[in-house]
A and B are shown apart, each in its own frame.
Chain A
Amino acid sequence: MDKQNEILLEVKNLKKYFPITRGVFRRVVGYVKAVDRVDLFIRQGETLGLVGESGCGKTTLGRSILRLIEPTDGEVWFKTGKGKKLDITKLEDREIKSLRREMRMIFQDPYGSLNPRMTVMDIVGEPLIIHKVAQGKEIEDRVRTLLKIVGLNPRYMRRYPHEFSGGQRQRIGIARALALNPRLVIADEPVSALDVSVQAQVINLLEDLQVQFNLTYLFIAHDLSVVYHISNRIAVMYVGKIMEVGQAEEVYQGPRHPYTEALMSAVPVIDPDVNPERILLQGDVPNPANAPSGCTFHPRCRYAKKICSQEEPPLEDIGDEHYVACHFADDFSLKGIRQF
């Protein structure tokens, strides 16, 4: 991906804290820091893969960016089709509605993300009605085209979602996301609920569509192997924080954060010559309501030193737009993956 491409979306210091209340008067005694001071940017036309274990706040981050949930603090700058830069977190509801045409989401659960009481035609055509871009026969024609684009037979557009398989449903969800010609698509684990064989088809479809419609993806996944093929850049998240961001090849082949290294080692590699040495992480993912001091990863990090529990490492550019949040990013030589 060309670095000269302009930045489409920039997330600055984004936070989403859920209050924990206790007692008779529901005093706030603490916060679950689901997303904690996240900085990210996505260039026009690229795919940023966001990986992390389940519960690390990836989904919350995706939803906060679209303001499906209200972020606690921070800025999200989006460059609209007309070339204006807007901070999404400061917009009125009415202004967000018009932005929803340009930023769409594909959901994780193909069984739960389609309204069971609406036909495929209504589901895919609904955004057109909401944003008043088409009416009557036009909607039907547009839905027909969209269904063909995602590889579904338009003959079945009067059917209900439960009559389709998981992969087919996910295609319906993609068609719905594409209906308004968006520029940014946030795909929230779009294939993790699907069979492996179907996963490949859907990923390929997403790649084709990216080329065809010049889409920009924020691709959220917990599975590194899925993200690798579709992403230009990779961001690794751990307990609400970004640990490492960089070009996909760089992150995979030369990870600079111990957490990334541990994630890589968990990917099965089909190569008899490679000696599989898995790094087993000690302990559990910490409770985001009570995150460890200093570097959140230090209790499980095998390289941890004294400073790690005292001082939080900032996310720093170590060159070539490779950002790492580790005190010893330059000191270790960590193991990545040569090839899949």
Chain B
Amino acid sequence: MISYIIRRILYVIPLLLAVSIVCFVIIQLPPGDFLTAIESQLKSQAGLSEEESRKMVDEMRKTYGLDKSMPVQYLIWIKNIVTKGDFGYSFGYRKPAQEVIWERLKWTMIIALSAHLISTLVGLLIGIYSATHQYSLGDHLSTFLAFIGLSFPEFFTALVIMYLLVFRFRVPHVGGLSSPEYVLATWNWAKFVDFLQHFWIPVVISGVAGVARNMRVMRANLLDVFRSQYVITARAKGLKERIVLYKHAVVNALHPIIAYQGVALPYIVQGTMVTAIVLNLPTTGPAFYDALVFQDTLLAGSFLLMVTVVLVIGNLLSDLILAWIDPRIRYD
């Protein structure tokens, strides 16, 4: 067991290295960089001649090390990350990339975790209901709704809900996390209510698919467990149905869902991404999207790297958790 853990952890190091290289290369793939855009801006708006603007931009390139070859740029980037926690400079926000990400990560996590928590709880409850009432009307209905939930593209769910709120229920302001008049206000009760009125929308939108997925997984697992010998034995020896259900069946059916928690984080972060872009939330998703579109290379690369690292570590944790809770897995 211990050697399994050590081997698994040792293996993550080269993986992280390879992953960081690929993140960097992908982000550098599009032709040109952020300064190309500045160059044309200088020409058209500041009225500089072609030569002057190129000279200015070349100088900027030098200061930010963009004139160096890609491998050298990568080495500088990764060295600063590892030694100083410095992810590089974001041209778009005119400050270090990690600052942009950190200040937006707070809301990302709050929204993502709320959506995840609610979707897991609701999904599990519906799943247990469905499995214990197999083939009932409620089971059919929730199974069908789960299918529908999985068939909606997230951006479309967002569009539909926004449309309904604005044009059917006449909600005055949708999008973002607060109405314009509260943006600069200090926190008080009214602002909090306004915040809640905005907050539930992205949570529900990004939670829909999660509810459907968890419900289906729970239902299928529980039905499998019901057919297993030990549940039949538990029933045969006269245990109360409640005890059979919660002490024997549910606990075992939860295994895959618990194991999933390790990798859930990056999925929920990217799950709220599209919603956040459509609703224009102050989270990492829209920042990443803008960084991609405007070639704010280091910001986009840093974000991609961070999510990837979280995913790699999540995978590791999930493997270890599964190894820990499931005694049937062998380690050599």
Chain B associates with chain A: yes
Could you list which residues of chain A lie within 8 angstroms of chain B, going by C-beta atoms? 21-24, 26
Tell whether B63 is near chain A: CB-to-CB under 8 Å: no
Interface of B is mostly: helix
Closest 8 CB pairs of A and B: A24-B3, A23-B3, A24-B6, A24-B7, A22-B332, A21-B332, A24-B10, A22-B3
Considering the chains assembled together, what is the distance between the CA atoms of A125 and B244 in angstroms? 55
Question: Interface of B with A (CB < 8 Å)?
Answer: 3, 6-7, 10, 332
Nearest CB on B from A24, distance (A) = 5
Residue of B nearest to A27 (CB): B3
Report how far A22 CA is from B6 CA in the complex, Å. 13
What is the distance, in angstroms, from B118's C-beta to the closest C-beta of chain A? 41
- What separation, in Å, do the CA atoms of A24 and B11 have in the docked complex? 11
When distances are taken between beta carbons in the complex, the residues of chain A under 8 Å from B10 are 24
Shortest CB-to-CB span from B193 to chain A, Å, is 56
**Smallest CB separation, A22 vs chain B (Å):** 6
CB B285 to nearest CB in A, in angstroms, measures 40
How many Å from the CB of A294 to the closest CB on chain B?
30
Nearest-CB distance from A192 to chain B (Å)? 28
How far apart are the CA atoms of A21 and B331 in the complex, in Å?
11
| A306→B97 CA distance, assembly (Å) | 78
Contacts of B7 in A (CB 8 A): 24
| Cβ–Cβ < 8 Å partners of A26 in chain B | 332
B323 shortest CB reach to chain A, Å: 15
Q: How far is the CA of A24 from the CA of B1 in the complex (A)?
A: 10
Residues on the A chain within 8 Å of B6, using CB: 24
Residue of B nearest to A22 (CB): B332
State in angstroms the CA–CA spacing of A26 and B11 once bound together: 14
A-B contact pairs, 9 of them (CB 8 A): A21-B332, A22-B3, A22-B332, A23-B3, A24-B3, A24-B6, A24-B7, A24-B10, A26-B332
> For residue A26, which residue of chain B has the nearest CB?
B332
Q: How far is the CA of A23 from the CA of B6 in the complex (A)?
A: 9
* A24 contacts across to B, CB distance below 8 A: 3, 6-7, 10
Known: A22-B3, A24-B10, A26-B332. 5 other contacts (CB 8 A): A21-B332, A22-B332, A24-B3, A24-B6, A24-B7
Nearest CB on A from B70, distance (A): 35
Contacting residues, chain A, for B3 (C-beta < 8 A): 22-24
> Once bound together, how far apart are the Cα atoms of A23 and B10, in whole Å?
13
Which B residues are in CB contact (< 8 Å) with A23? 3
Alpha-carbon gap, A23 to B331, bound state (A): 10
Measured between alpha carbons, how far is A314 from B6 in the docked complex, in Å?
A: 45
Nearest CB of chain A from residue B11's CB, rounded to whole Å = 10
A202–B253 CA distance with the chains assembled, in angstroms: 47
